[in-house]
Structure 1
Amino acid sequence: MAELRIWTVISRNYRVFDKSGKLAFSIIFGLCRRDDTDPRPLRIETKGTILDVPYALSNDLLQLRKYNPRTRQYVQFEVGKLNNTNPPHAHVTLPSPIGRAANWRSCITEYHYHVELKSELASLFEQGERYAVQNVSGWQLGPGAFSFIDDKEPSQIDRCQAVSGRVNGRAIFEVVESLPWPPELQTKMQLKISDYTTWLTISVTNMESESITIQTRGRQHFLVPHSAFDVTPDYNHPRILDEERPAPEATIKILDLATNDIVRRPRSPGPCGGAQRQHDPRPKLDVLTTLRPGVSLVRDVDISSLLAELPDGRYGLKMEPRGMWWCFGDCEEFKRICEDGRVPQDVFQTMIPPLMLECDDVVEVRVENGASMMQSAG
């Protein structure tokens, strides 16, 4: 049987496994054919392969390692025989590398193995411990089905043996009993037009029973989902609620309502958290805003520049979701007890899901002869 080398990347969607189950956790596999010359797609059955994580751990295709704080190393952890929870007929398809012009990293096919909360695998993860799931270069990807598929002759299937030609990364994560969960916000948008300016009025209401403090500007620290290679980019621009620099171009998407085409996208993201390192990651108090229970925070944001160069027509303004660091408590109280101008140490956490600033409203505006006209909110 022919041997086919598959480049493999292993990661995880979050750096934490939440034993309460609120934050879903997956082991991510990035797979890519790099140097074979077969033009046909390759189908990989997940059952009985490295992608079937309980099977792979039980049959030495993957290793589970536990962090030893004394030696500062990850030591192999024996898992025994685990029950398989993988769907029996799931598969992924890898395209041929022939004719590929892009870098191979941008051509990776991802497969996410979701770790079920009540599975045997999840029961191995102990609160407060750190683990790593990893593979070794040259190891087989398993005895499951690896088949070349001929589109012209679907009935003709050629089997092959797949091995890891190269392995990048490992899935490192920490186990926690539960996570602080973001509170509920109610967000609304509407248009307001004066003689020379078009405003987007944004109203945010805290639906919880206690005050919430949010960060609207500066480097944000919260749990961010990962892909096989990289962290999902986060927008380091000010959030649109920021009083000094709301930066609507980083949040507002504009649709042509006649065609439903996007005519302007929000500004492209940068690396999560920004490129500069900070000695003290706690946000300064002057970039925080407190949302008190049942009290709406209202911001009027000038969007005239976003609409200035649009041709005549009907447009819809839509808010793209943006995450924010958050905590319970009132910023005014923080100012009374903190002398260094930052969030108190006992309040600051980074292992938290972000509080999402999002809104379902589509605000309609009509442009005639370069001027904005009021429409309705849908």
Structure 2
Amino acid sequence: MPKTSTEQRDWIAEAVRLVEADANRSADTHLHVLPIPTPGVDLYLKDESVHPTGSLKHRLARSLFLYALCNGWIAEGTTVVEASSGSTAVSEAYFAGLLGLPFVAVMPSGTSPEKVALIEWHGGECHFVEEPSQIYDEARLLAAERGGHYMDQFTYAERATDWRGNNNIAESIFEQMGAERHPVPAWVVVGAGTGGTSATIGRFVRYRRFATRLMVADPENSAFLDGWRRDTSDAVTTRSSRIEGIGRTRVEPSFVGGVVDDMLRVPDAASIAAARWVSDRLGRPVGGSTGTNVWACLTVAERMRAAGEEGSVVTLLCDGGERYAHTYFDDDWIAAQGLDLAGPAAVLDHFARTGQFRGSVRDASVA
């Protein structure tokens, strides 16, 4: 028997309560100092790996579910479908399970087995495609076939989050920086997968009238940098990013280039070498996108040093490296990808010894 409107509203009200309660049970994520030998420059990592589902995408999934619930797109029994390279799907599987909803993740066949296992552990189903560019159409088709809802993180990420505040990641960063010697960051550095995080931070700093500049670090085979340089949304690439969670073959609808002050191409070998370098300094593994962020941060720090500037640089520790034991931390996988980490590792070693970062976006082997 179909649910009445009142019954559906009651279910949605309870679903919103459950999602909000998840947020209330969680303390804010930590802001770590990562010591670097650059005089006058302080580097901080916002540790998003401590969320219940282990990544930055927990924030996004919560916002997407609230957005869909309050728009009336999800009701009791709705099958939720998402196109995702992994971490968003893990987090959405968690929230779907919280609400008792079926969840299907449409993802490239090369997604790390650790992420697949996490999605299935949370009760989700994984649906694989061979070509990463197929995930969008396949997710729409699957949602239609099952009478479900395609969450579409790539379209709705930038609008599902309240960029003015309301406990978003930007507000959290600036509150936690309040007692530091450079409380207003000179730069915030992030990667882009949907573009939602960069849009939130970029809008927030403008709204609050901070002088902070925003850099987006883009991995190889990603369309964002070219689209930003040419101020167009039709930039595409033919290969997918090897750095899971960031980099896309197209400029996603949620990417707001107008709030980005600078972008930097980071070679995949540099991203992975930096992830291992940071892991050694923190005493625990971090993911490849964190390596991308840190490589870009060290580039920013070198520019500041050369210009005689002081200040703070903040970036994100997006997820833990445990999810990449069979990829970024597996030397056989590295060799199979044709990657050589020796060059960027030498750059990082030179930086640690001298305080001079001699990395190049054109040639990561410069040492």
State whether TM-score is above 0.5: no
Q: Which protein is richer in strand relative to its size? A: 1
Q: Which protein is richer in helix relative to its size? A: 2
